[in-house]
Structure 1
Amino acid sequence: MLALPGPAAAQGPAALNDYPTLARADYIFGCLAVNGQTRDSMTRCACSIDTIASILPYDDYVAGETVLSLRQAGGERTAIFRGTAPATEAVANLRRAQAEAEILCF
C-alpha cells in the first residue's frame, strides 16, 4: 500500500478534522470517478483532500466550490459569480490548493 503523507499529517489531528466527513467522502467519490476506482486512486484521492484541508479552511473550500458550481449555470443571475473579486479570489484559492494536492498526491 502506498502511503502519501500530506502536509495535514504534520499539523496534527485538528488540521485533519475540520472538514466534515460528508465533504471528504463527496470529494473522494468524485476524484475516484475521474481517476479510476482502484485502491491506489483512493489513497491518492484521500491524500488530495487531506492536502486541500491543510491549506484551505473549510469555509473557503465551500466558497470556491460554490462559485465553480454556480459558474456552470447560465444566465444573468449567475453573472455576479463570474467577474467579482471575491468570487475570483475564492476560485483562485481553491485552484491553488488543488494544484498543491495534485503535486503531492498524484
Structure 2
Amino acid sequence: MMTCRRVRPIVAALALLCGPASGVRAQDLNDYPTSARAEYVFGCMKANGETRQSIEQCSCSIDVIATILPYERYVTAETVLSMSQVRSTLGAEFRSSEQATSAVNDLRRAQAEAEVRCF
C-alpha cells in the first residue's frame, strides 16, 4: 500500500513530462479558425466549380489539411506562396529560402493527401 502511494506521483510526473515530448499532432489542436477554413473553401470552390459537390470536397480538403498541418505552419506556407509572387528582392528571398521551401512542401504534401481523400 505504501509503495502504491509513492508510485502514483512518479507515474503522474512521468506522464506530464512525456506528454508534450511525444509530440502534439495538428488534429489534436483543431487550431484552424473558421475564417481560415472558409477562405480556403471559397478559393477551392473557385478552382473546382461552384457546386454543392465542390463545397463538400473543399470542406473535406481543409479538414484533412488541418489534421496534418498545424495552423501556424499553414499560415507560414500561405504567406510564402503569396510573398513569392512579389517581383522584388523581398519576393526572391521568399522563393529561395530553405525554410520557406520546406513550409510550402509541407502544405503541398497535405494538399495531395486531401486530394486523394476528398476528390
Fold match, TM over 0.5?
yes
Which TM-score tier does this pair reach, normalised by the shorter chain? 0.7 to 0.9
Higher relative helix content: 2
CA shift for structure 1 position 80: 1.2
Corresponding position of 2:46: 33
Residue of structure 2 in register with 1:78 after alignment: 91
Q: Kindly indicate whether structure 1 or structure 2 has the higher relative contact order, using CA contacts under 8 Å at least 6 residues apart.
A: 1
Take 1:82 and 1:38, find their aligned partners in 2: how far apart are those partners?
34
**Structure 1 unmatched ranges of 5 or more:** 1-10
Compute the TM-score of the two structures, normalised by the length of structure 1.
0.83
Q: In the TM superposition, what whole-angstrom CA distance separates every residue of 1:60-104 from its partner, at most 9, and x where no partner exists?
A: 000000000001111112211111110110110010001110111
Q: CA RMSD in A?
A: 1.5
TM-score, normalization: structure 2? Answer: 0.75
Q: Tell me which structure has the larger Cα radius of gyration.
A: 2
1:102 aligned onto 2:86: no
1:14 positional shift: 4.6
Q: Does 1:43 align with 2:56?
A: yes
Which residue type is aligned with residue 81 of structure 1? Answer: F
